[in-house]
């Protein structure tokens, strides 16, 4: 692996944790129980500011060293480490740094290596026992224990050879069987359907302890045919080290902590009840359904492996995880589409349902075009409820500023549009009738909270300190603000 410390932190969870600990952002907790206590502590800490990463050890029923890590990327510093950008960036400058990397990105294929930490321990055949690794019961009403919540599930298209890496949920059923739920339409599901349509089992790798950069790459909207390995290699400027699974030949991250390898039979042949599970909108929406299983044939893990966990919480508690890379991806997509003068894209902490965009207006209808531009992207086009477009004098990272613009510049009758958008099973507003008919759509409002273009120059002036004078006063009176601003 590269000697570049920034690259090491992105590609190896242990190097990442060393940097996180040095920055004072790691809380090490001993003795918390896998049954509900890990989930409760994760949620309680998620409500604090700042939010530390939580490393749980001495988990009851497991030997010391079998650890679980949660709240992994709940800070700009930790996301910067995972993305290989300077760790002092915050807000829109961090989004811009990621966007700049995306603009220059040239996919770079992974590199197979011989010596891989993930191969320190290999269990095969009768030695396979998924129950030897801590899988938390995250929420009280969950239908079981989930070892895959912040994971990387790896599959290969049988026609093109394209390798997909996605974050999908994985429930433990027994020693050698796990349940796998992938939202229909996601690339992993499309690949599995190709195998199953031929009556074949679908090969999978399930990396349950993953380098931090892979956690972000596996959850962002990347076009079909571009592997997350290639995307991430291009983003970081170095090939991702991989080794191949013995049973499937699929590539796994060489620095993964824990990987399950196996095959998923067609669900009409073998399936088991999966769920319910507390999902990312903050509800139990999809219920308990018979879903595919993966029969585990091999387990690979490092000494003292760390399971990476991300139990979905109410959206205002864990939207931060993918905020910067998804915002950068939407921004880049609109630039590539030729939409001019987008000045920023942001997900307020209140949730992925809500996208805020700042623009410098260039023509009538510009704001409405931007709203549709967000919906045309993979990261902004599913389950989105509200897109708010504002002028570039609004700080979109400040929800108070955004709502002030809505309250003072938006006319609901003239500056709104409601459109239908694709919805997922996790969307709590989908009715039983819609589910039965597979009518998976919901609605989204596009709010143009910009000054009306035709009279933007005559619109009443804002009564506030100018940004330049504000900065001058802050410098002169810095001792009064204790560096909080």
CATH code, domain carrying 253: 2.30.110.10
Model confidence at 5: pLDDT above 80: no
Question: Would residue 332 count as lying in a domain?
Answer: no
pLDDT at position 485 over 50? no
pLDDT in tens, 208-221: 999 989 988 877 77
Rounded mean pLDDT of the chain? 91
Residues 60 and 157 in one domain: yes
Backbone angles phi, psi at 319, to 5 degrees: -65, -25
Q: Residue 453: what are its φ and ψ, rounded to 5°?
A: -60, -40
> Among candidates 376, 368, 389, which has minimal Cα distance to 421?
376
- Are both 307 and 400 inside the same structural domain? no
In this structure, are 285 and 347 located in the same domain? Answer: no
Residue 123 near residue 168 (C-beta atoms within 8 A) = no
pTM beyond 0.85, yes or no: no
Instruction: Express as a percent the part of the chain with pLDDT over 70.
Output: 95
392 and 455, same structural domain? yes
Beta strand 67-70 with 306-308 is: parallel
In a domain, 229, yes or no: yes
> Which of 117-142 are b and which e, b meaning 16 or more Cβ less than 10 Å from the residue's Cβ?
bbbeeebeeeebebeebbbbbbbeeb
> Which range among 170-179, 266-275, 284-293, 393-402 shows the weakest confidence by mean pLDDT?
284-293
Write out pLDDT tens, residues 418-458.
999 988 877 888 888 888 888 889 999 999 999 999 989 89
The answer on pLDDT for 267 being more than 70 is yes
Say what angle helices 320-336 and 91-104 make with each other, to 10 degrees. Answer: 50
241, 225 contact by CB (below 8 A): no
Looking at the structure, tell me whether residues 234 and 199 fall in a common domain: yes
Using one digit for the tens of pLDDT, what is the confidence trace for 168-209? 999 999 999 999 999 888 999 999 999 999 999 999 999 999
Q: What is the DSSP letter of 36?
A: T
What are the Cα distances from residue 333, in Å, to 105, 345, 429? 13, 11, 28
CATH number (domain holding residue 406): 3.40.1670.10
Residues 264 and 352 grouped into a single domain:
no
Q: Is residue 323 part of a domain?
A: no
Judged against a pLDDT cut of 50, whether residue 484 lies above it is answered with: no
Tell me what the mean pLDDT of segment 315-337 comes to.
Answer: 81
The reply to whether 251 and 350 lie within a common domain is no
Number of structural domains the chain divides into: 2
Judge whether 329 lies within some domain.
no
Cβ 238 vs Cβ 110: under 8 Å: no
CB 220 within 8 A of CB 330: no
> Does residue 121 lie in a domain region?
yes
**Average pLDDT of the residues in 149-178:** 96
Residue 331 maps to a domain: no
Judge whether residue 270 has pLDDT over 60. Answer: yes
Q: Please report whether residue 330 resides in a domain.
A: no
| b/e code 358-387 from CB counts within 10 Å (16+ = b) | bbebeeeebbbbbbbbbbebbbbbbbbbbb
Per the domain annotation, does 341 fall within a domain? yes
Residues 209, 347: one domain?
Answer: no
Q: What is the mean pLDDT of residues 234-241?
A: 94
Range of the domain at 204: 5-315
> 466-478 pLDDT, tens per residue?
888 988 998 899 8
Are 250 and 299 part of one and the same domain?
yes
Are 460 and 402 members of one domain? Answer: yes
- Which segments within 160-292 are labelled E, that is strand? 163-166, 169-174, 177-181, 202-209, 241-244, 251-253, 258-264, 272-274, 289-291
Residues 457 and 373 in one domain: yes
The answer to whether residues 298 and 431 belong to one domain is no
């Amino acid at each position: 692996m590269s000697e570049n410390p920034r690259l090491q932190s992105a590609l190896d969870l242990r190097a990442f944790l060393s940097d996180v600990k040095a920055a004072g952002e790691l809380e090490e907790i001993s003795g918390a129980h896998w049954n509900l206590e890990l989930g409760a502590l994760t949620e309680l800490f998620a409500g604090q500011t700042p939010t530390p990463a939580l490393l749980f050890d001495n988990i009851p029923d497991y030997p010391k060293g079998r650890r679980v890590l949660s709240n992994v990327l709940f800070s700009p510093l930790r996301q910067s480490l995972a993305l290989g950008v300077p760790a002092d960036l915050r807000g829109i400058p961090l989004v811009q740094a990621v966007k700049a990397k995306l603009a220059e990105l040239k996919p770079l294929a992974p590199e197979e290596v011989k010596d891989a930490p993930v191969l320190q321990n290999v269990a095969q055949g009768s030695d396979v026992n998924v129950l030897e690794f801590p899988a938390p019961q995250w929420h009280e009403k969950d239908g079981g224990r989930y070892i895959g919540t912040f994971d990387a599930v790896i599959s290969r298209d049988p026609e093109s050879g394209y390798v997909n890496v996605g974050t999908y949920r994985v429930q433990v059923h027994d020693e050698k069987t796990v349940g796998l739920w992938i939202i229909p339409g996601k690339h992993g599901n499309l690949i599995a359907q190709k195998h199953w349509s031929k009556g074949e089992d679908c090969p999978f790798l399930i990396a349950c302890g993953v380098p931090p950069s892979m956690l972000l790459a596996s959850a962002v909207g990347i076009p079909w045919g571009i592997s997350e390995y290639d995307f991430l290699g291009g983003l970081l400027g170095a090939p991702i080290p991989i080794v191949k699974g013995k049973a499937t030949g699929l590539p796994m991250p060489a620095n993964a902590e824990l990987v399950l390898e196996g095959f998923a039979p067609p669900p009409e042949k073998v399936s088991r009840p999966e769920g319910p599970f507390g999902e990312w909108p903050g509800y139990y929406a999809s219920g308990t359904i018979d879903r595919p299983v993966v029969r585990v044939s091999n387990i690979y893990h490092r000494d003292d492996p760390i399971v990476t966990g991300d139990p979905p919480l109410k959206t205002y508690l864990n939207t931060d995880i993918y905020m910067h890379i998804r915002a950068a991806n939407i921004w880049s997509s609109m630039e590539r589409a030729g939409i001019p003068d987008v000045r920023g894209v942001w997900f307020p902490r209140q949730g992925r349902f809500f996208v805020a965009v700042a623009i410098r207006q260039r023509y009538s209808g510009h704001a409405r075009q931007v709203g549709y531009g967000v919906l045309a992207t993979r990261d902004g086009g599913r389950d989105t409820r509200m897109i708010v477009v504002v002028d570039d004098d609004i700080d979109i990272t400040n929800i108070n500023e955004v709502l002030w613009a809505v309250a003072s510049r938006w006319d609901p009758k003239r500056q709104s549009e409601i459109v239908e958008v694709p919805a997922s099973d996790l969307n709590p507003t989908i009715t039983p009738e819609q589910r039965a008919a597979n009518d998976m759509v919901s609605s989204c409002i596009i709010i143009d909270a910009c000054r009306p273009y035709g009279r933007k120059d005559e619109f009443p002036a804002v009564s506030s300190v100018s940004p330049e004078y504000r900065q001058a006063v802050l410098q002169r009176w810095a001792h009064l603000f204790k560096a909080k601003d």
